[in-house]
Structure 1
Amino acid sequence: MMEILIAAAVGLLLSSFGTPLAIRLFSQRGYGQSIREEGPSGHHDKRGTPTMGGTVIVIAALLGFACAHLYSQSLPTVSAVLVLFLMTGLGAVGFLDDFIKIYKQRSLGLRSGAKALGQLVVGAVFAVLVTRFPNAYLITPAETRLSFLRDFGPSVGIIGFTIWVLIMIVGFSNAVNLTDGLDGLASGATGVVLASYVLIGNWQLRNNCTTQLGPNCYWVRDPLDLAVVAAAVLGALVGFLWWNAPPAKIFMGDTGSLALGGVLAGLAITTRTQLLLIILAGMCVLITMSVIIQVGFFKMTGKRVFRMAPLQHHFELSGWAETTIVVRFWLIAGLCAAAGLGLFYVEWMPKS
C-alpha cells in the first residue's frame, strides 16, 4: 500500500511544481497552441496557450513509479514496465505531432496515416510482449482471450489477440484525444478511470489466486505494480489539472492525450478488464461515438446530427458555458466509473 501512496504523492508533487516551469519554458520558446478556424469562436482566445503539457505528466508519472520502487527496494514488474512503455511510446508519437503543429504554426501535425502508423507500431510491440514473460505460476501479463471482469472464452490466438489489442490501443488513445477539447475535460475524465484502476489493482492483489485460492480469486500477474502505475499517473494528472482547469494555463496536447489513452488500454489489458474499460471510460466512449455518428450520418444524408462534433462542442454552440460543460461531463465520467466499479465488485461477491 505504501508504494501506491508514494507513487501518487511523488507524481502529484512533481507535476504540481513542474507544470508552471513548463508553462514558463514553453511560453519563452513560443510553444503555443494553434486553433482550428472552423472550431467554436470562443476558442480563438486560447491561441498561443502553451501546449505539450503531457510531457510533464509522463515524466512525473515515471519518476513517481521509480520512487515507489526505490522505497520498496524491489525491481519493477514486467506488467508495469509494459504499460509504462505503452504510455511513453504513444506520448512520443503525440509529442512529434504537437511539435510539428508548433513548428509549422498550424492546427494539424502529423498526417493521419503517419500518426496511425506510430500508434500501431507501439501497440504491436506491446501486444506481442504482453503475452510473454510467465512468472513462477505460469501467469503472463495477458492471455490471448478476451476479458470483461476476467478472461473468458477460448483463446483467439496470438494474431487475433494482437488485432484486438491494437483496436483497444488506437481506439482509446484517440478517444482521450477527442475528449481533450475543453480545459480540464480530458484530465478529469481520465483521472476517475485511473482512480478506479488503483482500486481494482489493490482488490486483485488482496484476492489473487497465487496467494489465496478460491472461486472468486483473480489470475493477474502483477496487480500491486499495476495499481502503482495507475497511482503514479493519477498523481501526475491531478497536479497537472491544477494548471489545466478552466481557464487553462497549459494544454496537455496530443503528448498527454495519446499517453493517457495508452495507459488506460494497457491497464485494462493487464488487469483482465478489457471490455469493462468501455464502461469505466464511458465519457470518452460517448464523445467518440458522437464523432462516428456525426461523420457517418453526414456521409449518408448530407445532414448533421449535432451542431458540431465532438459532443462537447455541440453544447458549446448550444450556449452552455465551458465550465458548465466540463463539470457536468466530469459528473458523467464519475458515474460511469462508479458503475464499472460496482459491476466489478458485484461479480466478485460470493454467489449464494
Structure 2
Amino acid sequence: MLVWLAQKGVHYYTGFNVFSYLTVRAITSLLTALLISLWIGPAMIARLQRLQIGQVIREDGPASHAIKGGTPTMGGVLILLATVITILLWSDLSNPYIGCLLGVLIGYGLIGLTDDYLKVTRRHSRGLAARWKYGWQSLLALLVATLLYTLSSEPSATQLVVPFFKNIMPPLGLFYLVLSYFVIVGTSNAVNLTDGLDGLAIVPIVLVSGGLGVVAWATGNIHFAAYLQIPYVRHAGEVMIVCSAIVGAGLGFLWFNTYPAQIFMGDVGSLSLGAALGTIAVLIRQELLLLLMGGIFVLETLSVILQVGSFKLRGQRLFRMAPLHHHYELQGCPEPRIIVRFWILSLVLVLLGLVTLKVR
C-alpha cells in the first residue's frame, strides 16, 4: 500500500523514491512490525487474561512446568497481526509470492488457532484431531506447491540447490511438488515441536528468517545470483520484506515471551511461522539450506522420531523425555540456560548457512 503511494508521490516529491529500494523497505518493515507488536502486546495479554485463555499444561510434561499453567496463550495472533499488517503496508502486493506467503501465514494460522481454541475450551482435549490437523496442513501445502510450480517461469525456479556444491543443481520436475509439500508441512510441525520453553522457538525463527531474507535478496538480484552461482528467481527479492516483518514481529513478541513468559505463542504462531519459513525456502530454492539454518528444529524433531522409534522397537527410551529440550530439563539444567544455549547454536547454524553461499 505504502509502496504504491510512494510511487504516486514521487511525481510531487523525489524523496519518496527512497522507498523503491528493497533494503530501505526491509528495514522499515522490521521496525514497523516491532513497534506494532510492542504496541498491541500489553492489551492482548490483558485481554487473554480476562477471557481466561491460559496454557493447559500436559500431565506427562516436566513437573517444573506446572507453574506455567494459566499463562495466556495464542500469542501467535500478535505475531501474525504485526506481520500481516506490515506486509500489506511495505510490500509490493502485485508480486505473486507475497500473496502466496500471506495465504500460508493466514491459512496455517487458522489451523493453529482452532487447535489452541479446542485445547483451552475443552480442558481434557488435545486440540484438533490429528487427521484434521494434518489433513488441512497437507491440503494447504499441496495447493501452495502447485501454485508455485505454475509460477515457475524459469527452469532455475525448480532446481535443487545443494550447499557446498556449485555445479550440482538437478532439475526436480514434478518432484518439486513432493519436496515442497514435505518442506512446508515438515517445517511447520518441527517449529511446533520446538516451542516448549519460554522464547526457545521464537529466536531461531527470527534468526532463520533473517538469514533466508538475505538469501532471498540475493536470489532476486540477477547480478548477485550469478556471482554466488545460485538460481536467479524473478520476484524472489520481495520475499525479503516478509522475512524482515517476521523478524520484527518476532522480536516484539520476544519482549513478552522471554523467561519467565507473560504469553505463549501457541500453535497459531508456531504452525504458521514454520510453514512460512518452509515456503520461503521453497521459493528461493534453498530447501537444504533451511535444514542447516534451522538445525535446532531438525534436532528437536529427530529426538521425537528417535524416541518413538526406540520405544516401539526396543521398549526403551533414548532420552528422558522428548523433544530434546525436555531431556536437558530433566537432567537438571535450568530452563534459561537451555534456552540461551539453543539460541547460540541457532545463530551459529544460520551463519554457517550463509557461508555456504560463497564456499561452493
Q: Fold conserved (TM > 0.5)? A: yes
Map of 1:72-91 to 2, 5 A cutoff? 74-91=92-109
Residue matched to 1:27: 49
Tell me how many residue pairs correspond in the alignment.
335
State the AA in 2 paired with 1:245: T
Among 165, 168, 182, the residue aligned to 2:180: 165
Using the alignment, how far apart are the partners of 1:84 and 1:131 within structure 2? 17
Residue matched to 2:341: 328
Question: Is residue 147 from structure 1 mapped to residue 161 from structure 2 by the alignment?
Answer: yes
State the AA in 2 paired with 1:100: L
CA 1:79–1:215: 2 relative to 1, 3 Å: same
Map of 1:4-23 to 2, 5 A cutoff? 4-23=26-45
Using the alignment, how far apart are the partners of 1:128 and 1:307 within structure 2? 41
Map of 1:84-99 to 2, 5 A cutoff? 84-99=102-117
- Corresponding residue SS for 2:82: helix
Residue matched to 1:304: 317
- Corresponding residue SS for 2:87: helix
State whether residues 79 and 222 of structure 1, in contact with CA within 8 Å, keep that contact through their aligned partners in structure 2.
yes
1:16-49: CA deviation from partner (whole Å, max 9, x where unpaired): 1212111111111111110111100011111111
Question: Is residue 293 from structure 1 mapped to residue 315 from structure 2 by the alignment?
Answer: no
Structure 2 unmatched ranges of 5 or more: 1-22
- Corresponding residue SS for 2:151: coil
Among 221, 225, 229, the residue aligned to 1:216: 229
- Corresponding residue SS for 1:152: coil
State the AA in 2 paired with 1:173: S
Among 138, 143, 154, the residue aligned to 1:125: 143
Question: Is residue 342 from structure 1 mapped to residue 355 from structure 2 by the alignment?
Answer: yes
Among 221, 224, 231, the residue aligned to 2:244: 231
1:235-254: CA deviation from partner (whole Å, max 9, x where unpaired): 10110011001000000100
Residue matched to 2:69: 47
- Corresponding residue SS for 1:346: coil
CA 1:247–1:309: 2 relative to 1, 3 Å: same
Using the alignment, how far apart are the partners of 2:269 and 2:161 within structure 1? 27
Residue matched to 1:350: none
1:107-126: CA deviation from partner (whole Å, max 9, x where unpaired): 61011111100101111110
Using the alignment, how far apart are the partners of 1:215 and 1:259 within structure 2? 30
When normalised by structure 2's length, the TM-score is: 0.88
State whether residues 193 and 323 of structure 2, in contact with CA within 8 Å, keep that contact through their aligned partners in structure 1.
yes
State whether residues 87 and 263 of structure 1, in contact with CA within 8 Å, keep that contact through their aligned partners in structure 2.
yes
CA 1:87–1:75: 2 relative to 1, 3 Å: closer
Among 218, 221, 228, the residue aligned to 1:203: 218
State whether residues 220 and 232 of structure 2, in contact with CA within 8 Å, keep that contact through their aligned partners in structure 1.
no
When normalised by structure 1's length, the TM-score is: 0.90
State the AA in 2 paired with 1:264: L
State whether residues 118 and 125 of structure 2, in contact with CA within 8 Å, keep that contact through their aligned partners in structure 1.
no
Structure 1 unmatched ranges of 5 or more: 348-352
1:219-275: CA deviation from partner (whole Å, max 9, x where unpaired): 112232111110011110110011001000000100000011111101100011011
Q: % of aligned pairs identical?
A: 36
Using the alignment, how far apart are the partners of 1:79 and 1:180 within structure 2? 27
What is the RMSD of the two structures over their aligned residues, measured on CA atoms?
Answer: 1.9
State whether residues 9 and 64 of structure 1, in contact with CA within 8 Å, keep that contact through their aligned partners in structure 2.
no
Residue matched to 1:156: 173
State whether residues 155 and 171 of structure 2, in contact with CA within 8 Å, keep that contact through their aligned partners in structure 1.
no
1:117-156: CA deviation from partner (whole Å, max 9, x where unpaired): 010111111011011235xxx438942x433358821333
Using the alignment, how far apart are the partners of 2:111 and 2:318 within structure 1? 32
Question: Is residue 278 from structure 1 mapped to residue 291 from structure 2 by the alignment?
Answer: yes
